[in-house]
Amino acid sequence: MVTEPILPAPFKAKYAQILGDKNGEFLKYCSILLKKAIRINTLKVDNVPQYVDYLKQKGWVLEKIPWCDYAYTVTGVEPGKSYEYFLGKIYVQEPASLIPSLALNPAENDFVLDMCAAPGSKTTHMAQIMNNKGCIVANDVSYKRLKALGFNVELTGALNIVLTEMDATRVKFDERFDKVLIDAPCTCEGTVRKDWKALSKWSPKVCRFMAQRQKQLLRLGTKAVKKDGIIVYSTCTLSPEENESVVDFGVRELGLEVEPVKLKGLKTSPCITEWDSHQYDEKVKNCARLWPQDNDTEGFFVARFRKL
């Protein structure tokens, strides 16, 4: 039985350099398992406060997530094995994972591209925000992952989603979409609290490789969105190469504007403006960088761009 996370020595050295005297708290939180959390699905639940009371009467211990009116941490039960989950009235979702959809904030008449959609947490959340109106093209490269996405779409009663199976780096939709979500494949450094083996194959080389793929995704997402449209880029990693470096690329190479990511109740940390001899554009400061200790969540990063 694994009793502590597997953190490679180069990983620990990297974040000791980045965090300095805050590194001890970071390592402490890396070793604490995440609380379970749920999003109440308003596509199937009309009255959230009433439904919360119902869950509490069943013995669920709920604590509201500050930045989302219908999301709660849960103790006392296993929500993914509950009757409520199989009815699609709740969706098990990590609190930081709510941020990209909230930051994109798709409207009911929007045409949205979710470039890397599976298994569907953010896709179905966007459908909820849109009240099942408009249209979401939910794409993934993996048929196996696409099956999981399809299951979650059906479970949650999301009716405005079209599934596609394509390599997102080869998607060519010139200025078709109002908004684009790129929840990019990454090194998953922020997920160690959920999966203590998440970093067992981590290396600086993998970080650099993923960053190149992420920049390619952002380039294609920029082509796909209309002028004055919005792109949200997110990762569940902490690596500057995969976060601030990609944002810097968006500003310098793609001409994107970086808009502030601010949600009421969400604590964020200063973004990294310089790393490994690279100076990033000052606009990276508008992004949301979440260390695990900031909100007792996964590590996460979210950027909101506007295409000029």
Active site residues: 236
Could you give the CA distance from residue 189 to residue 195 in angstroms, rounded to a whole number? 10
What is the three-class DSSP state of 228?
Answer: strand
H-type alpha helices, 65-186: 83-86, 99-104, 121-129, 143-156
Judge whether 129 and 105 are in contact, CB under 8 Å: yes
Mention every residue, 6+ apart, whose C-beta is less than 8 A from residue 139: 113, 114, 115, 116, 117, 163, 164, 165, 166, 168, 171
Judge whether 138 and 156 are in contact, CB under 8 Å: no
Closest Cα to residue 298, out of 141, 93, 88, 81? 93
Q: Rounding to the nearest 10 degrees, give the CA dihedral for residues 252, 257, 262, 268.
A: 0
Q: What is the DSSP string of 171-210?
A: ---TT-EEEEEEE-----GGGTTT-TTTTTT--HHHHHHH
Token pair recorded at residue 194: 């959920």
Judge whether 149 and 117 are in contact, CB under 8 Å: yes
* DSSP state letter for 68: -
Closest Cα to residue 22, out of 284, 291, 299, 297? 291
Give the CB-side neighbour count of residue 109, counting CA atoms within 13 A.
0
